[in-house]
Structure 1
Amino acid sequence: MKRLLSILLAAGMCFTLTACTNPFEEEPEDETGKVVIEVGVLGSTTEQEIFRKYKNGFQVKYPNVIVQMDAIPGDYATGMNNYVQNSSFPDVVFTPGDQHAAYSSNGHFLDLRTFDEEDDTFSFDDIYPELIETTHYNSEDEGIWFMPRDYNKVVTFVNKTMLSYVPGENGEMYAGYGSFEALKEAWDLETFYEVCEAVTRKVEENAANSSNIPQEERLAGLIRGTVALDARYNWYPAYEPILRHFGGSTISLDKAGDGETPDYENMLSVDAEETMLAYRSMHETLARPGYVRQSLASTGAAAFPNSQAAMWFTTRPSWGEVNSYNATFEVDFLPFPYDYVGVGCTGYAITSLAATRVSEYAETKEGTNEKMTNADYAWLFLKYIVSEEGQNAIGETGMGVPSLMSMKDSGTWMEYGSADLNHEAFVEEREGQTAIAVNDIYSFPATAQKTVSDNCISIMTYVVKDEFWPADLTLELNRTNYAAIYARVDEYKNVMMARINAAN
């Protein structure tokens, strides 16, 4: 029989939260007689807003617990390494699904299955299985090291305002489809390329006659430098599905071999013939025609929010970037057009240090003489995050699609912006499309995974550059005809293999 974690709630007690404009600057709360748990949170405006939603809702439900934010200093990796070096982990810490392995595999996080086994009010079966896959730190691990809070499937953001000034060959706007609704009905890979061509043609026409561009088209961004697609090709869930469409893959698990130690050299298939051919096809169909930029901004994703791209391959949280730029154009959404699509998530882990902390105000676990640890209270917080109430809390920010399968077509997330928007694009199951999780990288040693991820991204930044490809892309693929791109791929693969071998 599972043991329930319980906490005594004062009957009829009202809990009033202090209003705040920034969770980093909240007014002090009265901690008298209350358990305090700390949550490591990134410093972005979006993450601050999401944390505030969780905190407020949870503290209404559990008024004898205070959830304090611990701002993760710097970028995620820097902040996490600081926690490790100083043994200063908070009780709970935010984690992206593709960056937890180095910490969960080294004992810094607790396996959430332990809590699940003792709590019959909860089941991980309610969460999308592809998200649970991302909680493991390698292909053999079965641990659940963090709680997935959102379902981040890559979709196509669309600048409807820009497309309303882009004619097709028939003269109809929206690249010849006349309306966004008609474009949505026709949407497939062929239609996607038609839109890319129409946008590129319109931008070139305006650039050639820049002094006579209508003001409304200029404001919409149809000027020199604008591209059809902000591809986000520096992110695995966005570029890997395209490579797989063309028959390649940066990581091929079927090449791991049957030995006790995987054949990492072959499994890291960045230089395999089929992957090199896929790079070429990606360059030929997206970069060579000018549909994407051949260089990345420092963030890797600045074109679309600045009205410098008509479409964007990205996930729901990127809506926050659009809002942060005070974009004035209309945004809507279409599914990812290729026959593979990437799915990831973010979430929260309970740290091992939380299990060693016991508040003097902690309640006693039901059926025992033991006091609840901070880890037990952290579990309550994580359960709140994936409750319907918690999922609606993040839905109100517009930045999250629920990780609960039961909320696929319901909840506040479908009302953000407007209920008339195509929110279904974020969860739509398209016939013939295969969803792939981000956990292939977990097949490498945990301490080498970031190196593999970073260097695969570096390869992709060269795949889109003209100067690393011959002018004639019909030339036979070999190391002589394609020396420049092979040299870059070899360079980065050597870096990755050195790190893998050192970690193995």
Structure 2
Amino acid sequence: MIHQARFTVWLVLAALVLLLLGSCAPATPTQPAASYGGEGAAPAQASGQLTLRFYTSSGDHATKANELMINKFRETHPDFTVEVEYGASDYADKVFTMAAAGNLPDILYTADIYTAPFVDAGVLLDMQPFADADSEVNIDDVYESILGLGRVEGNPGLYMIPVSLDNVQVYYNKTIWEEAGAPLPTPDWSWDDLIADCKIIQEAKPDIYCIGIGGSNGGGGFNWWAYVVPWIRGYGGDVLSADGTRSTLSTPEAMAGLQAYANLWVVHNVAIPLGNDLGGNCFINQKCATWLSIPIFAGIFRDSIEPGAFEWDVQVIPSHPKGRFTGMGTFGYAVSANTQHPQEAWDFVKTLITREGQEELGRTYRAMPLLKSMADSSLFDELEPPPANYRAFIDGQAYGILPRTYPVECGSLYTGQVNAAMMAALETIIRGEGTAETVFPGVDAEIQACLDRALAK
């Protein structure tokens, strides 16, 4: 059932949500619907074929997955035509509007940023029963860390099939490291090691910022939860209590992690100052020595960095005092709650978690195989470097953490009140205008008040 009373909240937030998603899923112009049937197929109305509606993105990140699912479905379901509709900057807006009108397509492009609001609004169908009953796929072979991005805390359902084992690791400019005389990154390095390396690099190359986070153009966003929350966890804290009823940003452990993250700017000066314009991606133009992100950037960097310009590779995320943690976030596909063809819609999306589908996606250098059985696949021997250590994303997934779930009226780590309060406070301490101890108790109180109101309903 569609929960229409909650649409107003999410329609207001949708534009903000899409802006945040843009870091890994760029907005694209709206395109007219296209139909894909069998060879020489006529439109469904003329041929008597059934139609499956597919609402997706035409961005480069999604193109291969779109083609893979459509082509496989055409082979196995020749009696269906696939009608493709492309979303643009109003993507989430349109999903909620279609849901309110009872006009959802059968299959939706989605992302972990949308999982909680889409599930809360009743937009998505639980795919877990289909996965459990399907002998052609093994849902237990998918890393639970990435599958968890299609789940909601406290709900056993499965609401997104992910495309890639997306987790944040460290791309580094090996040439810069070697020219500066800094020790190369190793699998057992720590953030203290990286900071020490950065100081060597910046002394040798004063026009370079070592860590590619910050700035206004060219660096990674300083306020991405996948950067920030691992520091909280790495110092022994968390954003919420285990039962999700208490905001815990003002515990000594959480504040120590937040301050340590801010100290990349305030004390060590190894990240890009907020507001600095580096004229495009700082890793590509060699204005930063590292880039912390997901596997898709291997393909982007291969396409954008001239061969021989410099050597680069990937290493697992450094460790913190209380362990090694990194964020995970991805896009994927889901079956809508309104579909009249649930089995066929499941057949469409399940291609993503077949070995054949994962091998095809993996060869693009824009997706990391998410099947545990492929950890030692010969695919990795087929892929030419760079990066030589592409398996860092396989090794690094073991350290991945998922975004905690808040009541929808409070927002999330991506958007809404929770995000606004946390990230405004974080910017304050990064700019040196306060400390975690002076700023975050107030943030905790604000978020806790929202939690109390929501949980009292």
TM-score range, shorter chain: 0.7 to 0.9
- Distance of aligned partners of 1:117 and 1:280 in 2 relative to their CA distance in 1, 3 Å threshold: closer
Q: Which residue of 1 aligns with 2:170?
A: 156
The answer as to whether partners of 1:73 and 1:79 remain within 8 angstroms in 2 is no
Q: What is the CA-CA distance between 1:104 and the residue it aligns to?
A: 1.4
Contact 2:170/2:291 (<8 A) preserved: yes
Aligned to 1:93: 108
SS in 2 for 1:83: helix
Deviation at 1:141, TM superposition (A): 0.8
Unaligned runs of 5+ in 1: 1-21, 168-174, 205-222, 257-261, 356-372, 470-476
> After superposition, where does 1:234-249 map in structure 2 within 5 Å?
234-249=223-238
Q: 8 Å contact 1:189–1:337 — kept in the other structure?
A: yes
Amino acid at match of 2:59: S
Q: Counterpart in 2 of 1:209?
A: none
SS for the counterpart of 1:237 is helix
The residue matched to 1:353 in structure 2 has which SS?
A: coil
Q: What SS does structure 1 have at the residue aligned with 2:223?
A: coil
Task: Report the residue type matching 1:410 in the other structure.
Answer: S
Work out the number of aligned pairs and report it. Answer: 403
Match of 1:198 in 2: 200
Distance in 2 between residues matched to 1:140 and 1:185, nearest whole Å: 34
1:127 aligns with 2:142: yes
Match of 1:110 in 2: 125
Note if contact 1:455-1:493 (Cα within 8 Å) is conserved in structure 2. no
Alignment of 1:61-460 (within 5 A): 61-74=76-89, 76-137=91-152, 139-167=153-181, 175=182, 177=183, 183-184=185-186, 187-204=189-206, 223=207, 226-231=208-213, 232=220, 233-249=222-238, 251-254=239-242, 256=243, 263=245, 267-285=246-264, 287-295=266-274, 302-322=281-301, 329-338=310-319, 339-355=324-340, 373=341, 375-410=342-377, 412=379, 415-418=382-385, 421-428=388-395, 434-438=399-403, 440=404, 442-445=405-408, 448-449=411-412, 450-451=415-416, 452-460=418-426
Partner of 1:269, secondary structure, is coil
The AA in structure 2 aligned to 1:501 is R
1:31 aligns with 2:41: yes
Equivalent position SS for 1:428: helix
What amino acid sits opposite 2:141 in the alignment?
D
| Percent of aligned pairs sharing the same letter | 18
On the 8 A contact 1:246/1:282 being kept in 2, the answer is no
1:51 matches 2:66: yes
CA distance in 2, matches of 1:68, 1:326: 37
Q: 1:66 to 1:318 in 2, by over 3 A?
A: farther
Structure possessing the higher radius of gyration over alpha carbons: 1
| AA of the residue aligned to 1:31 | A
Q: Alpha carbon RMSD of aligned pairs, Å?
A: 3.5
1:466 aligns with 432
For residue 55 of structure 1, report the CA deviation from its aligned partner.
Answer: 2.7
Q: Normalised by the size of structure 2, how large is the TM-score?
A: 0.76
Q: Structure 2: which amino acid aligns with 1:436?
A: I
Alpha-carbon deviation of 1:333?
A: 0.3
Aligned amino acid, residue 263 of structure 2:
E
Which structure 2 segments of 5+ residues have no match?
Answer: 1-28, 214-219
Q: C-alpha distance in 1, partners of 2:445/2:203?
A: 37
For the 8 Å contact 1:238–1:314, the answer to whether it is kept is: no
**TM superposition score normalised by structure 1:** 0.70
